[in-house]
């Protein structure tokens, strides 16, 4: 996020904010991280298998899709049409630090943090994971 004061004179300034969301990883890098997780590797392998099994139908019914080798999920309950990136377990704390602990995140409670994160990311048990994280946040406890 970039901010720059815009001043018409030396005493009056308005703060102009521009949010820039630049993907920091390529599809190949995201895929490599997802393949490190056994459960996500199983889903990706199922999608890439030529002989589609019953598991393939189960994953697609749950909203999973593979795009450029990267696993995403469409939430059946979301009003948003964008797919959520499926996050491997070793990346989850990083996502929470970015969307809960960062100065721009404002330490929203569990529901606010879940809302912010779930619009872009998905993992199984996400709501409980976020609630536990927020419950143990030193800033939020204070």
**What are 26-64's pLDDT values in tens digits?**
888 999 999 999 999 999 999 999 888 888 989 999 999
Q: Which of 1-10, 38-47, 121-130 has the lowest mean pLDDT?
A: 1-10
Can you tell me the distance from the alpha carbon of 129 to that of 88, in angstroms, rounded to the nearest whole number? 13
Mean pLDDT of the chain: 81
pLDDT at 18 over 60: no
What's residue 78's pLDDT? Answer: 66
pLDDT at 14 over 70: no
From residue 102, give the alpha-carbon distance in Å to each of 2, 19, 25.
Answer: 15, 15, 20
Closest by Cα among 100, 104, 31, 96 to 70: 31
Can you tell me the distance from the alpha carbon of 27 to that of 105, in angstroms, rounded to the nearest whole number? 26
What's residue 80's pLDDT? Answer: 65
What's residue 30's pLDDT? Answer: 93
What's residue 5's pLDDT? Answer: 41
Residue pair 71/23 in contact by the 8 Å Cβ criterion: no
């Amino acid at each position: 996020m970039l901010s720059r004061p815009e001043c018409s004179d030396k005493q009056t300034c308005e703060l102009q904010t521009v949010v820039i969301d630049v993907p920091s990883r390529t599809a190949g890098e995201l895929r490599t991280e997802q393949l490190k997780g056994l459960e996500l590797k199983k889903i990706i392998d199922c999608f890439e298998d030529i002989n589609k099994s019953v598991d393939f139908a189960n994953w697609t019914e749950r909203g999973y899709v593979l795009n450029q080798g990267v696993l995403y999920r469409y939430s059946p309950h979301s009003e948003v049409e964008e797919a959520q990136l499926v996050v491997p377990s070793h990346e989850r704390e990083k996502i929470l630090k970015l969307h809960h602990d960062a100065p721009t995140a404002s330490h929203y409670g569990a529901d606010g943090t879940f809302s912010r994160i779930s619009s872009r990311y998905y993992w199984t048990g996400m709501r409980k994971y976020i609630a536990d994280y927020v419950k143990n946040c030193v800033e939020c406890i204070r």
